[in-house]
Amino acid sequence: MTEAVSRNGMEDLAGLADRYLEMLLDGDRREAIGLVMDAVQRGVPIKEFYLKVFQPVQYRVGELWQRNRISVAQEHYCTAATQLAMAMLYPRIFQTPKTGLKMVGTCVEDELHELGIRMVADFFEMEGWDTHYLGASTPTESVVETVRKVRPDVLAVSVSVTVHLPALMDLVRAVRQLPEGGRTKIMVGGRPFNLSPNLWERVGADGWAADAEGALRVAAQWVRGSAA
């Protein structure tokens, strides 16, 4: 990718996000996904696309529903379209050589907002981690069982809605009780953590991140720390 393409790509992303959202709100999923694929084909890095198009668009979709500007059905349509667009990028995402590091990514039990943690898992995959993405509302015992089997370096857990914090605290306690639990660092993220400083400590996690890029940075520090 040339610097010019990169610079143009960066400059265009806010406008691209506007157009992408507009197409989704018009119910034109095919056009919206075409926009994504064309941009990636032109050389816009997938991570940039995630952070500067998918993420802000999804925030705006949530706000539009909150203010009653769009219906629940429209909100679900936009989210499903973005999930489809992300899935179509997987042939590119899953070609990264593996490092041997393992990550489990999940939403806490009853939490349905899975796009954020899915982005986090994809960022780890792009960095060569072997990712086990469990998706929305995964029962606590299933997450614990996965950690027991996979023995990941990082367990990343997402909570978007404050009401699910007790379930997260239960999950953290349960993972800590595993004999193998000590080797797994627990990272948390989601709206409550973006709002409230040090909340991650109060729920018993090892760290937190505001977005997928931040999650990778935190994990890299942990890996460096354990290698030292």
Touching other proteins, residues 184-203 (CB under 8 A): 191-192, 195-196, 199, 202-203
Separation in Å, CA 145 to CA 121, 137, 152: 19, 15, 12
What is the spatial distance between Cα 214 and Cα 220, in angstroms, rounded to a whole number? 10
What is the spatial distance between Cα 101 and Cα 212, in angstroms, rounded to a whole number? 17
When asked if residue 71 is in the footprint of other proteins (CB under 8 A), the reply is no
When asked if residue 43 is in the footprint of other proteins (CB under 8 A), the reply is no
Nearest to other proteins of 67, 224 (CB atom): 67
The set of residues, in sequence order, having a beta carbon less than 8 Å from that of 27 and lying 6+ positions away, is 77
Nearest to other proteins of 84, 112 (CB atom): 112
Nearest to other proteins of 71, 221 (CB atom): 71
When asked if residue 226 is in the footprint of other proteins (CB under 8 A), the reply is no
The one among 3, 67, 91, 228 contacting other proteins by CB under 8 A: 67
Least Å distance, CB 169 to other proteins, is: 7
The one among 52, 113, 132, 164 contacting other proteins by CB under 8 A: 164
What is the spatial distance between Cα 101 and Cα 51, in angstroms, rounded to a whole number? 23
Secondary structure E strands in the chain: 102-107, 130-135, 154-158, 185-189, 207-208
Nearest to other proteins of 7, 69 (CB atom): 69
**Percentage helix, strand, coil, to 5, in the chain?**
65, 10, 25
Residues that bind other proteins (CB under 8 A): 66-68, 162-166, 169, 191-192, 195-196, 199, 202-203
